[in-house]
Every structure is written in structure tokens, then in C-alpha cells.
Structure 1
Amino acid sequence: MKEMKTSPELLLRVQMHERQQNLQAIAAQLKTELIGIDDVIDRVTGAVRAWYVMPQLITRPVIVCLWGLTGTGKTQLTRRLAQLLGFYDRFVEVQMDGFSQNGDSYGASTISGTLESAGLVEGAPGILVLDEFQRYRTVSSRGDDSKVERYQDVWALLSDGKLPPALSELHSIERKLADALYDAERAEEDDAQERHKKQKMRYKIDAWDAQALKRSLKLDAPLLEIMQWSNDYIHQLLIQFRSSQQSWETDYSKLLVFVCGNLDEMYTDTASRVEDCDTDADIFHRLTSRLSLIDVKRALAERFKPEQIARLGNQHVIYPSFSRSAYEQLIATTVHNYVQGIEANCGLRFVIGSDVLAQIYQNAVFPTQGTRPLFSSVHTILSSALVDAALWALEQGAQAGQQLQVQMAAGAAQLQVQLALPDAAAVLQQCFAVPLDLNKVKQRTSADFRALLAVHEAGHGLVYALLFGRTPQELKINIATFEGGYNSFTELQVTSRRNMLDMVCVGLAGRAAERHVFGQEACTTGAEQDILQATADAARHLRHLGFGARLSRTDVAQEPGDNTNTEVAPTNAGIEALLQAQMLRAQDLLVQHNALLMAMTALLLREGLISPAAMAQLCAAHGQVVQASAAQIPDAAEQKWVLEPYADMLARHEQRPLMA
């Protein structure tokens, strides 16, 4: 007897163990298929573990929110997870912008109607995906309520999984039944032939009402059978349903609900940079990896009401943008699959060189746009060239299984394909044009323009490295996004008075480098934005932050109640003096380190960019020790930067004796 009592416990333990192992295997499988989101996969599988391993414990829907930039694999993850879990026959995907994959004309304007139409069994586990959820906003951009007509029952579902019956549909059916009975009493005046014709009609109610009746009364009968029921029988069913003690609610409390969307408000200054193909993917990855639950809640508040945000729960998984290594792995995998497809069709095996993969990266990756532009560009770049190469190789006598080496030709405008036939005296080779459009945009043909860009950007980068002790994150002159070059710097978590003066100096260093190398009369308008930013920083330094002679906040009053020092004019001279001092400081640094400036300029002219590692080495060769930017170091800390040693300063202050 004791053994019989424990057998259900043993069965449960075995089942839990098997499902736990299965979930681990699924996570491993997903990581091989979906590149660059290993951490996301771990969080998602962890969030669904209780729902999958011990579903009997679930009494309300398990809600997992997936937020990320476009093309990062949110929907793909949910679909593939449903397949591997064996739930694809109980998987419903609803486009919250109003276009559903599983909805039909019956009740497709409600979540309950969509779930019922998809055949999801009440009270049983299933998976629901609410995709493009950001488009279901209930608060306008001005903060007013937005009119929402579809899927209004989604909030009840997210609350406890219990959906109320569609009483309006029942009222409509009752009204129609009353009309039918009313008409039946007055049908006595019809001639016998007409009465006989009505009695012979097989279907008593239409399909729409039958569907509503089946859903509302939770009937198991087929739709066609319900359509044949008499009005009297349906009337009795309605009476029984209203007087019964059974729950009128529809129970979907066992659902796993994925809420997916793009919250651009959370990815400030990132999501909108759709044209940026120049900024290194690692920089965007580092910025988006810092996002937290607080950022999600703040972004949701721009689109939804507080009580609605609460129903989404706290299980928010944030997708960072892909890192450079993830994009490189995606490119290698996509190209491998592409050449495998060619081999399966014509028998020729193309071996793609690393220089080709590098050029695909340079011409296909838009870091904020995810995988879709990448897949499109791989096809565009390789399709025509490899098809032409295959035809050429077959014409030369290549046989199935023959290997062809593919590399970039000189000038990086063509693919060079090499074919070594068994009986040929020499290796055959042929070049094929490839559309590398971004290379053309990035190439600055004017030697004068490139010289100007190199000196200007080298000035910014050198002064930054000298003052902050680390390299810029990026230093480039060959860019496609706009005419010019740029430096990008590590974000500070806190900015001291010294840091702010140093950044003003860095901002003016481009103009200082132009003056140092080309002379005062050859300085260009390219420093306009730099001077604008430096002036704004100097004004904040003196007027807003109390770093000058005046402590009070100085500004123009906007409202009668603004309590500010409105004596703005006297600070203008101080702003100009600060800018002049920092310009002289930048010039002195450039004169003192002229050899390093010229080495950086030469490297920019030759390569078009200077990586953090290369710049650190270049500075070391000239006697300046600087740290390479953390954004380019694998597994580097993703925290913002605090330059001043405040902890040490506090410790020294605590040991300092107090003056009597």
C-alpha cells in the first residue's frame, strides 16, 4: 500500500525531471539557431520553467514581455520555442495592430473570439503571442486617451486569465428568438403551402448566431448541429444557462502569454538612427545592454495607463542590439547556408574568404536595424556574382565537388574566383562585379578633403586621449552617414568641473588642429557644430552649474514665477574667455605632441579609421600611456565611467584630522 501511495509522486518526479532536461535541451538548441541572444534565451526559458515543468501550479497566465529593436528575433523566438515545446498546435499569434494570423470573421475583434476560433481549449495550457504590442497604445503622444476598438478584453486576460461571457451576443440571440416566436404566432394566416415550406427548412439559425451561442454557452456540439436546433430548444438552453451555478467565465488562466514589441521611447537616440551604418555595433550593444526594468516602465508610460502597465507584470526581457561579433557570426552562418544551397543545386563548393565576409559586414550592417537588412544584403551581394561564377566554372570543365576559392580582388570592387582543375597547368581565375554601394559612398576621392578630415579628427582624438587617459571609442573619416568624420567618446556617469573644461577643450581641438597645421586663414566651416557645442557647454559651466565666479543659476525667465538670476549679459564675457583659454590649451597640447598628431593623421589617411587598440599602441610608441576604449574590449564592463577617484578622496578625508 505504501508503494501505491508513492507511485503518483514518483511519476510526477519523473515527469518533472524529464521536462526540466527537455527545457535545457531546448535552450541549447535555440542558442544554435538564434545567434547573439543567448542571455535572452536563458531568461525566457527560466521564465517559462514553472509553467512547463509543473503546469498544475499555474493559476493565472504567465506573462513574459519581450522588448527590442526591430529585427532582433523576438517573434522568431516565440514561434520556435512553441515548436520545440510541442505546443505549435496550441499556439496563437495576434497582431495587436489589428491583423491576426489566426483570427477569422467570427469574434476576431476580441481576444476571446480569436482564441476560440483558433481552437484553444479552455482551461488547458497554450501559448498566446501579442505581437506589435506598442501599436495598441491607449495613451496618445499628447497624453490623451486613444480610442481602441479591437481586443478590449486583452486587459482582463492579462489580469487573471478569466474572460467574461459575451452577454451582448446572448441578448442579441434572445432578441432574435423573441422575434421568431412573435412571427410564428402570426404565421397562421399564411397559406398551407407557405407553412409547409417553412417547416421543411433544415437550418433554424444562421452561422453567426450559432458560433456566438457555442462560444457563450461553452457547447461542444458541432456548428452545423447547432444551426438545426429549434427556437424553443435554444430558448430552454438559455434559461438553463442563466439559472445554472456553473462559471460563466471563460478560463484561460493556464496560458503562457508573450507580449512582444518595439519600445522606441526606451532606445533613445538609437532606434531613430536607421541610416547609421558607421557607428560600431559594439557601441550600440553597450548602450542598449544598460537598459533595465525602470526604462521599460518609463517607456510604457508613454503609451499605456498605469493600471494597464501593472497587468503586464515585471517579467520584462530586454533585447540589446546585436554586437559586432554577433553580426559577424550571422554573416558567416548566412553565407555558409547560401553556398550550401548552391552546392546542392550545381555541385560546386564555394569557399568564401574572410576578406569577403569583412566587406559584407561593411556594406550590410545597420546596427539599429537588426538582421533583415543583413539577410537582404547577403543575397544582393553574392547572388549574381556566385551564379555567374558557377556558370563560368562549369564552362571551364569543373565537376561536382570541385572547390572554388572566393576572395576580394584588388580595389575591393570585384570578387576573384579561383578554380584549380585536376589536369590544368595553372589555376584559373576570373573576377565578377559585386554591388558594394556603401564602399562608394564612404570613399572620399578628394585628397584635400581627406587631408582636412584626417587632421581635424586626429586633433579631437589626440586631445581627448591626453586629457582623459583613454582612446575614443571610434575615430573615423571614411563614413557614409554624412560628409565628414567623427569621434565618439565614453559616456560619463558624473561630470566634474575638471571633466567639463576638458570636454570643451576636446570640442575645440578640431579647429585648433586645423589652425596648427593649415594656418589661421585656411580654417574651415567644418568646426561650426564643434564651436556651437563648446559654447553651450561653457554657458552651462558658468550660468547653470555654478562652476564660475557666480554661484546663482543665471538664465532668461520664462514664467513670472521663475526664480533665477536674470542678469545674463555679464556672463557673456566669461563664456568667451573660457573658450579662448581652452582653445589655447588645445593648441599647446597639439604643438607639444605634434609627432603623435602627424602619426595619427597618416594612419587615418591610410586606413580611414583608428581602432582603440591601434591608437593605444600608437600613443605608447610616442611615450603616452592611454587605455583602450572599453567598448572594444571583449567582456568589458558595461558601466558608465567615473573619472574622479571619489572613494579614495573620501578615505583620505576621513583620515584627515579636524581643525579645532
Structure 2
Amino acid sequence: MEQIKTEQYKNHLQKKKEVLNNAVIQLKKEFIGIDGIIDQIANTITSWFFFPEIQDRPIIINLWGLTGIGKTSLIKRLTELIGFSEHYFRFDLGECTSRYYDIQDSFKDIYNNCDGEPFIINLDEFQLARTINEEQEEIDRASIRAIWDLLDCGKFDVIDFEYNMNWFNKLIKKLDLALYKGVTVEKGIISGNEDLYWDVVNSSNRPEVKKNKKVEQIPFVSDSDLDTIFNMVDHLFLVKSELQDKLNEMDGDQTIDYLIQLYKASLKPKTVDCTKSLIFVMGNLDEVYTMSRNFNPDMSANELHRQSTEITITEVKQALLNRFRSEQIARLGNNHIIYPAFDEKSFYGIIRLELDKVKRKVADTYGLSMIFDDKVERLVYEEGVYPTQGTRPLFTTVHQVVNTRLGKILNEIYLKGVEADSLYFRIDDKASEKDSTALKIDFLKNGEVIHHIIDQQTLVLGKLRQEKRNDEQAIVAVHESGHAVLLSVLMKTIPEVVFSVTADSNSDGFVLSRPEWNYISKKEIINRLAVLLGGLVAERIIFGEENVTIGSSSDLSKATKLATYVLYICGMGDVKAAFGNENMNGTPSVIFDNSSETVNKDAKELLLKAEQLAYSTLQKQEKLLIKMADYLSDKRTLTKEQVKEFIGQYAVDFSLDEIIEDAEHIFYRRHLKGLAEKYN
């Protein structure tokens, strides 16, 4: 007998394993670029999915990522694939924090349908449920206190709405008043003074009495009132008819006494058991994804992806500390899954996935097959990708490029009689105009083109990216080339890309780069400052002092901030201490420095030396600077490989061999090991 049970349990587990494995496979088909995230989630829910009976507190999984990265949609789809759609409850904490009854409604639903059983909760937009504001002051969030109980032990109490309690109290008083005025009741039915009953208890629902029709019996407690009462005390009865039968045995006074008992019982909170639940906490943490406020569509998706993969759980918890109390963060546990931003490959995968959806829909509805040229995918990418905004802008661009043309296509087929069986979307470069791209749609029959239409797709970002080839682009070309040359020569780092025209309204151009090492040493401070001042100095060398433009405000601000930071905070000056001034709030742990002759003087000297270094270096590399700037005055970008080519051809006393490739072993470890050898 025991062996049969064991065999049944093995079969049960095997079926569950197949369900979960199939769900993972399907999710990886539908969601691009997050295979690792899907695997992490599947591994974390294994114990809950296979052995919920031994779980005595909720499993909590935290999902953090940029907007539009696929957090909510992934979990919703997961619940469908593992058969939990009916036992899935989503709370939008951006809305629930202000509406107490929304949460209570959902908790009552959980109590009625899933109490003590496995189910899934999604606490979405969790960052908006903050209990500490920007000034680190506590915020009263009484409406979501049950959420924190849920995250703690999985059990919490809920009571009925105050509205229902007031309603119940008034109903009892009305019924009691009706009895006082002479209404009589036998076995739950009004036996005398029915008109008086309607006047006192429910005048708006008085039934219409028709001639020659037998008057129906009127219950003392109406059916609608009985439904509401049962919902308030359903934990006392198996079914509503059980309550109905009790009332049908009572006269008026007995009914009042019994309703008072039920009213008192309804005041007691109901304990909701969520110990067998799986809870997903998800949200956006701008404090961690520091790049999230950069809406520049020209920023590198690959670089953003790289930065996002370096975010750690300790950074997440530190960011949470700006929003929640320490004990609340502890309740979230240690299952923190950090979504990476999409890289370029993932974005193209998503584009193909969306185009495939369009293909299937058109094929199923109209019997037409569709083919998209690679250039169409490129058009969608260039017009639709904002790396920090995820997939949502991309979806609207697919709609603009493809779906909006389906009406024209169907008109050609059904109204003009073009008997095509397939469609081929491609870009016609010759027919394209300055501010638009020509979409050529070929109509094919048995593989032969029988008709075509050309439709112009207005370029939004493409228009902003067009080379201007004017004074403005020349200025930006010189400015950004100054940064790029000094970055290469002084910091031994080749920029990833240089832009002289960008679609970002807040930036005319920029250099995307980062030194391969993650620290700043004293010997490189002036070099870093020189790179920051390189744009301004390059303009001065090429155009002359009187023709320098005002586009260096951000560079000067960053340089000044770095110079004062290393001296005031990092102990890089003559006095090894942290400095401040008397205008600082509170009692800072700093040495007051209100004199322009001490640390401020040192900061000015650093900036002056950096400017001199930038000037002498760019004068020496003037040919490289001019050649690079000349190219960027005509073209909007210069890639890493192109920068290397320019350096190889035009740099003076500088070789590509000097570029630092292995930043993990520049000096410090080798130096330490060398010293240690002396004592072996």
C-alpha cells in the first residue's frame, strides 16, 4: 500500500517537473535576452512548486530592473504556463498605497479562494510603497501594513470594511424598529403589518401588488441582505443555506438577537494564511540603475548592458535603504534577481520576435506570408530603440513601420485585385528622401513579383542623426576630438565611439569611453582633468581664443568637481584630511577651510596644470587632432577601430602598443608580490 503511494507521488513529481521544464523552454522563446533570469527564477521556485506542503512561510523573490524589461509580463506568463492563472494576485503598489480597500478586497479574495493553499502574489511597482521619503523621514503607510505582515510570516488579519459594519448595524436597528412599531415575524417570514415593514426597512424596494395575484411571502431578512451578511461571516457557515435555515426557525426578537451575535462575530478579524504562497516583489530602482535617466537613443545598448551586469545585491539593498526601514528590507530576504539591460543583440531578437507575431497574425487572418529585409529590422532599431526604455518604444515603432501599412496592402489585394500570396518588405535607398525612408513592399505570386508599392516612412530619430556639415558640426567635431585624443594618449584608453551629431536634444556630441581600471590614483588625477578640459583646449588651438564657444560648461563642472573632490574628501593634498566649510549643515567630520589660499588654491593649481598638459599634448598631436576632427565634421561617428587607425597614421611619439589592455594587472599586485618575495 505504501509502495503504491510512493509510486503515485513519483508520478506526480515527474508531471510537475515536465510542466516546469516546458514552461522554461516556452518562456525563453517568448522573452529575449533574459535566459539567465528565467533560469534563476525557475531554480528559486522549485521547492515551492514541488513541495508546497512542507513550506511554513512564503517564498519571496525580488526582481529589479529598468522599465520595459519584462518583469511583470514574464511572471504573468509563468503563472499561465504552470497552471496558476486562477491563483495569481497582482497588487500595483503605486495605486494600492492610497486605496486601503483595494488591498482588503484582494486579501478577502485570497481568503475565500486560496487560504492555506499554494498561490502566487505579485507586488508590482514596489519602489512606490516607500516608507521613508527623500529627507529620510518616515511616511505613514497604514494602507499596506498587511503587506509587510505578509512578507514577514505569511499570516495577517483582515476585517470587513467599515462601510459593511455600519450597514449591518443600521440594518439591525431598522429591523428592531419595525418590530417595535408592530411588524410580526414567524419562522423568518413577516406575518403581519407588511406595509409598515417596507416603510421602515426598505421603502425603495416595495414590491408592486397586482390584482388576482397571490402575494408572495416576505422574508424578514431579504435575500440581498442575507447575501451581504453571509459574506461578512462566511467563516461560520459552510453554505449560505445553513444561515438561511437558522433564520427560518426564528421569530422577530430571536432574529434580532441572532443578528447581533453575527454582528459581533463579524467584528473579529479573519486570519489569512499565505504561508504556502510564492511572492514576487518587483520594481525599478533608479538609485541602482544610475544610467536610467539617460534617454539618449545614441547611447550604446551594449555599454548599458555591461554596466547593468555589474550591479550587486549590496547595491540593491543600499538603494532600498533610501526607501524603506532596515527591518523591512530584511523581510525581503536575499533572493534578489537583477535584470540586465538589453544589449544590441537582444533588441534585434525582440524586433524579430515582434515581426514574427505580425507574420503569424497576417498569415492566419489573410493567408499571406511576409518577409522582412534586414534593413527593415535596422530601421526599426534605429527609430525605436532607447536603451534605457526597454521594449515599449520598440513595439510602437514596429506598429508604425509595419502594421499601419496593412490597410494599404489589403486595399491593393481586395479592392484592386492584386492576387498575391506573399509580401516582401524592404528599403529602397534610391527612392528615400532626406527626412524619410522609402519602404518598398513587393507583392509576390508563386515567388514572382507581380506588383509593388512604395511608401515613405518619416524619420524621427533618423532626421536628428543626419550630418549637418555646418559650423556647428565642425565645432563639435573639434571639441570631441580633443577629448578623444587626450583620452587615448594620456589615459592609454581608446574611446568606444565618438559622436559629432547625436539624436539627443541635450547633447551635440559625446565620447563614450571608460578606463579599464576601477580606481583613481594620485598620479593620474591631472591626466583625467586634462581629458575633461580637452574639448575647450582643442577649440582654442584650432579656432583661436576669440572663437571658443560656450559648450564646455559640463566639462568644466566635472573637472572642478573632481579636483575639489580629491583634495577635500580623498586626502590627495598636502594635509591628509577631509575639508569643509562653515556653511555645511550639521556638525561635519571635516576641517573647516574658508580660505581661498589653502585647499581651494591647490584645486586651482591642479586645474591649471591639467589645462597646460592638455594644451601641450594637443599641440604635439595637432595633426592627429585635425585629421580626426576633419573626419567628424563630415561624418557623425568615429568607431574604436577607426580611432586606432587615425592614431596609427598620425600620432606623434605614441604607439598603439601603449594602450592598456590588461587593466587587472597594471602595477599594484605585481609590486606587492615583488616586495613579498624579499621576505621569502
Shorter-normalised TM range: 0.7 to 0.9
Q: Does 1:62 align with 2:59?
A: yes
Query: Structure 1 residue 139: deviation in Å?
Result: 2.9
Q: Does 1:580 align with 2:582?
A: no
- Determine the structure 1 residue equivalent to 2:440: 417
**Aligned positions of 1:645-660 closer than 5 A:** 645-656=667-678
Pick closer, same or farther for the CA change 1:215–1:265 going to 2, 3 Å.
Answer: farther
Deviations 1:27-73 (A, max 9, x none): 11101101122121111111111111112111222222222222111
Pick closer, same or farther for the CA change 1:313–1:223 going to 2, 3 Å.
Answer: farther
The answer to which of 610-619 and 154-163 deviates more is 610-619
Deviations 1:86-105 (A, max 9, x none): 111222222223469xx9x9
Indicate if the aligned counterparts of 2:124 and 2:281 stay in contact, CA closer than 8 A. yes
Q: Does 1:186 align with 2:180?
A: yes
Pick closer, same or farther for the CA change 1:337–1:107 going to 2, 3 Å.
Answer: closer
- Determine the structure 1 residue equivalent to 2:371: 351
Indicate if the aligned counterparts of 2:101 and 2:161 stay in contact, CA closer than 8 A. no
- Determine the structure 2 residue equivalent to 1:331: 351
Counterpart AA for 1:272: R
Unpaired stretches in structure 1, ≥5 consecutive residues? 631-636
User: Counterpart of 2:121 in 1: which secondary structure?
Assistant: strand
User: Counterpart of 2:402 in 1: which secondary structure?
Assistant: helix
Question: 1:174 and 1:649 mapped to 2: Cα distance?
Answer: 81
Indicate if the aligned counterparts of 1:507 and 1:534 stay in contact, CA closer than 8 A. yes
Counterpart AA for 1:465: S
User: Counterpart of 1:150 in 2: which secondary structure?
Assistant: helix
Counterpart AA for 1:79: K
Indicate if the aligned counterparts of 2:497 and 2:512 stay in contact, CA closer than 8 A. yes
Counterpart AA for 2:219: R
User: Counterpart of 1:263 in 2: which secondary structure?
Assistant: coil
User: Counterpart of 1:317 in 2: which secondary structure?
Assistant: strand
Pick closer, same or farther for the CA change 1:469–1:629 going to 2, 3 Å.
Answer: closer
- Determine the structure 1 residue equivalent to 2:206: none
**Aligned positions of 1:91-170 closer than 5 A:** 91-98=88-95, 109-116=104-111, 119-164=112-157, 166=159
Question: 1:629 and 1:427 mapped to 2: Cα distance?
Answer: 58
Question: 2:538 and 2:316 mapped to 1: Cα distance?
Answer: 43
- Determine the structure 1 residue equivalent to 2:550: 525
The answer to which of 209-218 and 189-198 deviates more is 189-198
Question: 2:115 and 2:533 mapped to 1: Cα distance?
Answer: 67
- Determine the structure 2 residue equivalent to 1:609: 637
Query: Structure 1 residue 465: deviation in Å?
Result: 1.7
Equivalent of 2:235 in 202, 215, 218: 218
Deviations 1:115-148 (A, max 9, x none): 24xx523222112222222223333333333333
Counterpart AA for 1:154: I
Question: 1:189 and 1:447 mapped to 2: Cα distance?
Answer: 94
User: Counterpart of 2:514 in 1: which secondary structure?
Assistant: coil
**Aligned positions of 1:295-306 closer than 5 A:** 295-306=315-326
Question: 2:397 and 2:271 mapped to 1: Cα distance?
Answer: 51
- Determine the structure 2 residue equivalent to 1:201: 218
Question: 2:679 and 2:306 mapped to 1: Cα distance?
Answer: 43
Q: Does 1:503 align with 2:528?
A: yes
Give the aligned CA root-mean-square deviation in angstroms: 4.1
How many positions carry a matched residue from both structures?
Answer: 637
Counterpart AA for 1:467: L
The answer to which of 532-541 and 41-50 deviates more is 532-541
Indicate if the aligned counterparts of 2:422 and 2:445 stay in contact, CA closer than 8 A. no
Question: 1:98 and 1:136 mapped to 2: Cα distance?
Answer: 9
Pick closer, same or farther for the CA change 1:448–1:242 going to 2, 3 Å.
Answer: closer
- Determine the structure 1 residue equivalent to 2:337: 317
Counterpart AA for 2:509: G
Question: 2:597 and 2:226 mapped to 1: Cα distance?
Answer: 77
Equivalent of 1:255 in 272, 277, 292: 277
Q: Does 1:456 align with 2:479?
A: yes
Counterpart AA for 2:535: G
User: Counterpart of 1:266 in 2: which secondary structure?
Assistant: coil
Q: Does 1:271 align with 2:271?
A: no
- Determine the structure 1 residue equivalent to 2:188: none
Query: Structure 1 residue 26: deviation in Å?
Result: 1.0
Indicate if the aligned counterparts of 1:109 and 1:151 stay in contact, CA closer than 8 A. no
TM-score by length of 1: 0.83
Equivalent of 2:565 in 540, 545, 562: 540
Question: 2:660 and 2:15 mapped to 1: Cα distance?
Answer: 46
Q: Does 1:485 align with 2:503?
A: no
User: Counterpart of 1:526 in 2: which secondary structure?
Assistant: coil
- Determine the structure 1 residue equivalent to 2:208: none
Q: What percentage of aligned pairs have identical amino acids?
A: 25
Query: Structure 1 residue 353: deviation in Å?
Result: 2.1
Query: Structure 1 residue 600: deviation in Å?
Result: 3.0
Deviations 1:312-344 (A, max 9, x none): 222222222222211111112212323444455
Q: Does 1:89 align with 2:120?
A: no
